[in-house]
Every structure is written in C-alpha cells, then in structure tokens.
Structure 1
Amino acid sequence: MSRKRILVTGGAGFLGSHLCERLLNDGHDVICLDNFFTGSKENVVHLINNPYFELVRHDVISPFFAEVDEIYNLACPASPIHYQYNPIKTVKTSVMGAINMLGLAKRVKAKILQASTSEVYGDPQVHPQTEEYWGHVNPIGLRSCYDEGKRCAETLFVNYRYQNNVRIKIIRIFNTYGPRMSINDGRVVSNFIMQALNNEDITVYGDGSQTRSFQYVDDLVEGMIRMMGTNDDITGPFNLGNPKEFTILDLAEKVIRLTGSKSKIVFKELPSDDPIQRQPRIDLAKQHLNNWEPTVQLEEGLTKTIEYFTKFKNK
C-alpha cells in the first residue's frame, strides 16, 4: 500500500480524531486541520509525536493550501448546543468550508469526502430513511443552520463533480457515539452517561418513545475509509448508521444499569424540531462498501464510552 497524504478537516474533533488515528495506523501521512471551536488538542495529543502527523490551527471558512491526495471534510459543530451557539458561523463553516475544500481538491486533483448528516432528512415522514428521501426540514427553525448548511454542502459537492470533475464522496452520518465525545455537547449519550455517573436525574425529553439508532465510532470510521476507497463513479450519498432502533427511554435504562447509577429518570418537554424517529436504511452502503455494517453492539460500545467518561465524573 502506498503512503497517501491525507487532509482531515475537523481532525481534532470527536470523529476526526478517531479518523486521524486510524489513517496513521494504516500507514498514511495526516494533516489535521482544526480551529478548536469544538475540537480539542486533548483528542489528538497522543498523536503529536508521530512524525507522519501534522496539527494545524485553521478555520475552513478561509482557504487552505496543501498538496494532498485525499480530503475528509468533517469540519462543523455537530451538536445542537454548539451549532446553535453561532448559527451564522455554522452555515459559513458548512458552505464556505465546502467551497474552500472543493477548490483545493479541484486544484490538486484530490479525492474528497463530505461528512454529511442524517439531519438532512429533518423530522422524517419516511421511515426508515433511504438516500432517495428528500427530507422534511424546517428552513427557518432552530436546527436549520446545521440542516440546511449540510444540505447546501451536498449540493456544492455534486455540482463540483458535474462542472469540474472533482472526485467526490458523500456520506450521511447517523447518531454516532464513543470515547472523546465532548461531555457538554448536549447529545443524548454524553448527557445520560454524565448524569448517571454523577447520580443525577436523567433528563428524557418527551415521553422517551422517540427513537434513535446509535453506531459506535469505530464502525463509522471503517465505513468512511471504505467509501473513500471506492471507484470514482461511486459518489453516494450513502447512509452510515446502525439500522437497529432504540427508544431514548431504553437508552437511559441501559446507561443506568451499565454505570450502576442511582439516577432516576425525569421527563421534560420535547424541544422544537426534535425528530421523533431516526433510523437508516444501509442497503447502499452494504452493496457498495464490501458488506459494511456496524459490528459493535450498543452495550459493548456504551461500556467503552462510559469507561472514557469516568475521568470526568463530578467535574
């Protein structure tokens, strides 16, 4: 296998750091680009001494220049708390970031992968979600800065392919969890684990019957790398997620049991535009990505994630 020079934007984030680690382990030269808005040096500090790893503080809203073979475009706040903090910046990151990275890919003839999201489906009226579904998104809602930013990024990717023959890949990531998630990102897995470890009430919004499909980060990284390795005529978008569906209440009960917590479950009002169901069909990924599917079961993944979060207990 030839050593490739690979750029990962958002490389110091939760997903990006795991991807950087895997690419280095696979024998590649990795440039990790991050502005550290939600990413953290802590996530990649163990990689700093690797001679094939380069950490660069940079915001993808501004152009970046480097000679690379592949680009994984992951840069964007991905949790509601973070992407709603500065919604205009979120849109800029998705849209200008895509334009700048696609421009780089065009100039150096690199292959480029866009980390899109299941949020492009909004609050879906089709269940489970297939890639053919156009979505049900509120363009002026609280989540629209992220949803519409990612939708626009997909538009840019396909049009750079049509107009400039840029080699693109698009994946739509469904709920992913694992070590290095931010403890204050407001996502359900990190929320529940921290509340359980501190024996606080576990906050369930609505009646807890809304469903999510949770995939462990290692499964996602494997899918991303397989996607990048496909022929140029395979562009996606492909759903990458776990087709096994769990209710939020079921997740809360599992976390309480696995942590041995004394926490009680309390119910609060469901936030605006919060999807009721989210479950991927992954037939296309299985077909084109060498039978890719998640292999880490929820309890196994939660156990590894809880072990990581234990160091933040009572902080």
Structure 2
Amino acid sequence: MKVSNRKRVMVTGGAGFLGSHLCERLLEQGCDVLCVDNFYSGVKDNVTHLLPHPHFELQRHDVTFPLYVEVDEIYNLACPASPIHYQRDPVQTTKTSVHGAINMLGLAKRIKARIFQASTSEVYGDPEVHPQQESYWGRVNPIGIRSCYDEGKRCAETLFFDYYRQYGLDIKVARIFNTYGPRMHPNDGRVISNFAVQALRGEDITIYGDGSQTRSFCFVNDMIDGFIRFMESPSHLPGPVNLGNPGEFTIRQLAETVIHKVGGPSRLIFKPLPQDDPRQRRPDIAQAMEHLGWQPRVGLDEGLDHTIAYFRKIVGR
C-alpha cells in the first residue's frame, strides 16, 4: 500500500468567503484539505464544487467545541467577519474568537502542527496612526457594538503569542484588511457587496457618514497568495503581519466607481455613521514585502470588474 506524502491541511471557516478560496488553492497545490465549518455565516454552495475532489473533505463542526483530527497545518479562519453577521450574536462571536482559538491552539500543540490565525485590521480600532503598522497597539472601544469582534480577535492574538512563548508553538498571525471578490455574501453588509448589489438592482446607494472615510481593498486572489506565502515562511516569523492593499479610497469614490461600472439610475444617499466605525484604514505592508516578497497585484478597477460580474449572476442583471 502506497503511503501518501500529501500535506494534510485543515481550514476552519472553510466554507466562508476567504476559506473557500483557500481550500481551492490548497487543493490546486496538491494538499489533502479538511474544510471545517458550522455554516453560521459560511455557505455550503461555496465549496459544493470541491466535494467531488478525492482530496477534499467537509466536516460540520463549531470550533467553540474541541476537535480531534490529525493534520500537518491549521488555518484558523472561523469567525463571522462582517458587522451584520458578527453583531447578530455578539456573545457567540466572542466565543468563536476566544474559545475557538483555545481549542485550535490546543489541537496544534497536541499534534505539533503549524497554525495560522486570521486576525484583522479591526484590532487597530479607529486608529490615531496612519497607515497602520504592526507595531501600533490600536484604539479600540472595549464595550461598543463592534467589540465582540475587535476584542475577540485581539484576545485571540494574545493567546497565539502566549502559546508561542510558553510552548514554542509554530504560529502565524495575519492581520487581514478589507478583502473582496467572488463568493462574498450579497447580504453581508460589507461596503463593496452593498454597493454592487444596490447598483445592480437599480437602488440608491447607501453611504454611512459623509463618505470621506477611507478604506483599502484587497482582491481575494492576492489575499490568498499572502496567506500561503506567510504560512510557508520560516518559523522565526510568527507575525503579526499586515496583509492588504495599501491603495486608499474614500467610500464616496468607491460608490461613484461602482455606479459608473454598473450604469443605471442609482444615486447616493447618506445616513448616520455607525458607532465606532473607523475613519481611516490603510495597511503598511512593509513587513509582508520584506519578509514574504508579497504585495497585491490586482488593482481596484480590475477587481471590481470580477466582483460585479459575480454579483450580476446572483442578482440577475
């Protein structure tokens, strides 16, 4: 009997937007992939096309409970990442970030696996430093409506680095900035999906605040490249490392660009800015460029074309 030398990789949150793209890429690289998801915000349709693959396995599981499997690497992506999803059950969101991290770190320690944590630019909160470097500690409201996600991810980072220092665990902590592309959920409340769907439906585009707040948008293919390069980097580089596109745009610029690309009668309407919504968001990716040889290649114009084409199929226009 031939023993396989394929790398065994588990992706928690594997049926989500980023997770499904990661599973796909890992299969293309010849890995055995275990996709774990409880489908709270992940969608089975995202990975249906992978089910016939002989080296892909899908398991329904909630990471707030222990999981006992044998793998070589773990990508911990499990956690709702859009405000609509993570604010729907904030207690569960915190549990997913914190208990999930504890359970996945415990598993990695037991089986001696390298483990990747999908952290977030939200650990910087509403920053006083711009662009945001990994050395910046952040400005986060610990009791606001976004805190379940922001503080949950910050606590997860603490756990990862304590396991790194205390047990010598092989960790990789990535701080992910706004990412977009095909397989985004059309109703997840993120700005690009909101604008694209509203424009395709001929509805007015809703901007919260005056539209002067800025974001940086990374196309999903570039982000997955960053994940894999970071995971394959030497053990002495635990992170945290910013992964995102440093191109910075105002929300109004984004809305006007989407309307131009879609066409139609959409106008801009303005509503009050939600509590603790960051005014600025732009990654400093010097560390990723130096240590990983990584930087985004897909500009917003090209990425929006791919994303709008995806939503056009869903919306039917």
The code of the aligned residue for 2:308 comes to I
User: 2 CA distance for matches of 1:158 and 1:292?
Assistant: 23
Provide the residue aligned with 1:296 in structure 2: 298
The code of the aligned residue for 2:313 comes to K
The TM-score normalised by the length of structure 2 is: 0.98
| Residues 42-70 of structure 1, C-alpha deviations (whole Å, 9 max, x = no match) | 00000000010000000000001111000
Is 1:42 aligned to 2:45, yes or no?
yes
Provide the residue aligned with 1:149 in structure 2: 152
The code of the aligned residue for 1:313 comes to V
| Residues 208-267 of structure 1, C-alpha deviations (whole Å, 9 max, x = no match) | 010000000000000000000011111000000011100000000111111123201111
Is 1:225 aligned to 2:225, yes or no?
no
User: 1 CA distance for matches of 2:159 and 2:147?
Assistant: 17
Aligned pair partner of 1:124 in 115, 123, 127 = 127
Is 1:238 aligned to 2:224, yes or no?
no
Taking only the aligned residue pairs, the percentage that are identical comes to: 66
| Aligned partner of residue 84 in structure 1, secondary structure | helix
Shift in Å, 1:314? 6.3
User: 2 CA distance for matches of 1:123 and 1:261?
Assistant: 34
Aligned pair partner of 1:133 in 116, 132, 136 = 136
| Aligned partner of residue 55 in structure 1, secondary structure | strand
Q: How does 1:64-213 map to 2 (within 5 A)?
A: 64-213=67-216
Shift in Å, 1:165? 1.2
The code of the aligned residue for 2:149 comes to Y
| Residues 164-222 of structure 1, C-alpha deviations (whole Å, 9 max, x = no match) | 11100000000000000011110000000000000100001111010000000000000
Aligned pair partner of 1:273 in 272, 276, 286 = 276
Provide the residue aligned with 2:263 in structure 1: 260
The code of the aligned residue for 2:143 comes to I
The code of the aligned residue for 1:100 comes to N
Aligned pair partner of 2:65 in 51, 62, 67 = 62
| Residues 14-69 of structure 1, C-alpha deviations (whole Å, 9 max, x = no match) | 00000000000011000000000000110000000001000000000000111100
Q: What is the total number of aligned residue pairs between the two structures?
A: 314
The unaligned stretches of length 5 or more in structure 1 are: none
User: 2 CA distance for matches of 1:237 and 1:262?
Assistant: 44
User: 2 CA distance for matches of 1:313 and 1:54?
Assistant: 30
The unaligned stretches of length 5 or more in structure 2 are: none
Is 1:249 aligned to 2:249, yes or no?
no
RMSD of aligned alpha carbons: 1.1
Q: How does 1:21-36 map to 2 (within 5 A)?
A: 21-36=24-39
